[in-house]
Structure formats: structure tokens, C-alpha cells
Copies of this chain bind each other. A is one copy, B any other.
């Protein structure tokens, strides 16, 4: 039983063929394939913008990794807000986000939100009060708790303080509607291998509000972000629009997989997907209260359905060994997130209510039979 689609989504049937077709296109069209492939970062970006992120055409590209995209956008934001050197983030933000920002910002100011509910607009307002903040960078859905941030209110609080705002949508893109344009978001990044089912290491996306694009410059000046790219004799001049945030050659196979995965999400409808997600996570919360809480578990995810993404966290002091026992002895694949969290992901596209019930039941049974005491507690490189 797979409840880890929020770590790596499943292979869509159509993607197998899309990748095979692209390999054959490489074999036969060779370099001429680039006449088509070169459009992919923007084309697939538009698909995400329109159907999944609530952004406009020309605001999203698919390229590089979340880490590299975050670096490019946060670097551009710091340069654009030259007089201000502070970046605000959350102590519980995803590690790569904290690491990137720590390396870039003259000062990183950490908000300590509630560990389950996450940072609030009031937390952000307080952190921005000194008036020295260039950028507020947070995750839309928290990787550990699954809390869905109040994106509209936090964006407004950051703007009121004269800061730009950057949302990491890795755990929300394809799980809940985002509404980037509606809420006036400045910048965003996110991955495609979770709820967009684009496969291991598929390229990430980045979003820059159209009215902000002309003002921002990427720190990584590459030839794919150059105006008139193949007139190679010229000095660097950023391309118009969001394409200026491209760097090197697009990952063609990965882009084709992102397109296939995003089309599937678009066909199902992000509003319908999110509604099923709330029902699945709500069922998991009920099951937790009935069967896990009596055994010493604590819910690590908000109880308000409007404040959840599509995964649920169960906290227990023995989380690590319980997680190993689930994988090794109960054929359930969840995720461990330190120090005490077992994360069950319920990608609405392919998770059944029966999976939720069965997953929770097996976790209960493992603890009841003390099977976690029988597993090797050593931690492998990948957890």
C-alpha cells in the first residue's frame, strides 16, 4: 500500500508512452527536435499556470530544481530590494529552502509558528515590523505537518511591510488550488514529482508575477535566458518575460513527463482534486482519533479541513521504528520525517478511501503487536 505519493507520485500510463515517443524523436529528428523542445519550458509552464496554479500565461516556466529556482528568485528579489537585506522564513520550512536562503540572505529571520498550524499572518507581520525585510519565503503546504498556510493574508501582510513574497508550492501544486494571480503573489517555486506525477528528478517550476518580471534579474545568467539566444556574439541581455529565469538546456524527457502529469491533473480538475483531498484527510483524522490517539499518537496536522493539504501526519515517540515496521512487515510505504512524524500522503487522483482505512489500521496493528521492536533501527541514507 502506497501512501507516499507526496514524496514521489505514481507513473501515469500516458507518461510511459510520452517518454518512449520522445526517445524515438531524439533518435530520428536529432538536433532538429530542438525546434519543438525549446518551447517546452514555457509551454508546460503555461499549462501549469492556467489549470493548476491560477497564474497567467507567460508567468510560469518549468526548469531546473526547486533548490536552483529558489536561489534564482530569492537572489533576484534581494537584488531588487537593494536597501533591505533580511529574508523571513519559518523554522519548520523545508530544509532546502532554509539552506538556500541562509546562503543568500545577509540576515535570515526565522519565524517560529505553531508546529502543527504553521506561521500566521500575525507572525509574519511581527517579523516584518522593523521595515527591513526584502522577502518573505514560506511553504504553502508544510512538508511535515501538512498545514496549508493562509496564503492570501500572509501575502498581504508581507506586501503591507514593503516585502516581496515567495511561496514554495511543492506540497500544494496539484493538491489544492493556489490562486497566484488572485492573491497577488510575487514569486513561487515548486516541484513536479509529487502531486503532478512527473517522476524522480523531473524539473521544477518557477513563477514570477508578470508586472514584476522586467524589474528582476536572475543571478545565474545563462544562454537560455538570453535575449536572442542564438545570436551568440552579443553580451548578456535578459530575455523578455519569465524566460529570463531559464539558465541551461531544458531537460527534455523530464519536461515531457511534467506535461503528461499536468494534463492529467487538468483533466480531473484541481477543485475536484482538492475536495477529494479534504475528504480523504478528514477520514484519516477521524480514524486517528478513533484508533491511534488511544495508543499514544498525536495528530500533527490541522483539524480544520480548510487548513490542510493532502497529507496527514501522525506523531509518536517511536515514529522511526514504526515507519520501518510498516514498510518491512506491513507492506505500507509512508514517509518518516524527524523527529517524531509518520507522514501519510493521500494524492487524491489515485488514493481510495479504503487505502486510508487500511493504512491506519495497519499502523495500529503494528504498534499493538509491538512489531516496531523487531526492526533494525539503523537509518539508511534515504529515509
> Of B71, B200, B223, B252, which contacts A199 at CB under 8 A?
B252
A-side interface size class: 35 or more
> Of B11, B31, B35, B96, which contacts A248 at CB under 8 A?
B96
> Of B100, B382, B383, which contacts A221 at CB under 8 A?
B100
> Of B66, B200, B202, B222, which contacts A100 at CB under 8 A?
B222
So how many copies of this chain end up in the complex? 2
Is the Cβ of A67 less than 8 Å from the Cβ of B222? yes
Is the Cβ of B252 less than 8 Å from the Cβ of A200? yes
User: Given the known A-B contacts A23-B11, A23-B19, A31-B4, are A381 and B230 also in contact in the complex, defined by CB atoms under 8 Å?
Assistant: yes
Closest B residue to A217 using CB positions: B103
A204 at the B interface (CB under 8 A): yes
Closest B residue to A253 using CB positions: B253
> Of B66, B103, B222, B381, which contacts A96 at CB under 8 A?
B222
Write out the residue numbers on chain B whose beta carbons fall within 8 Å of the beta carbon of A193. 249
Is the Cβ of A223 less than 8 Å from the Cβ of B67? yes
User: Given the known A-B contacts A193-B249, A200-B252, are A233 and B100 also in contact in the complex, defined by CB atoms under 8 Å?
Assistant: no
A37 at the B interface (CB under 8 A): yes
Which residues of A are at the interface with B, using a C-beta cutoff of 8 A? 2, 4, 7-8, 10-11, 15-16, 19-20, 23, 26-27, 30-35, 37-38, 64-68, 71, 94-96, 98-100, 102-104, 191, 193, 199-204, 219-224, 226, 229-233, 235-236, 247-255, 257, 333, 335, 337-339, 379-383
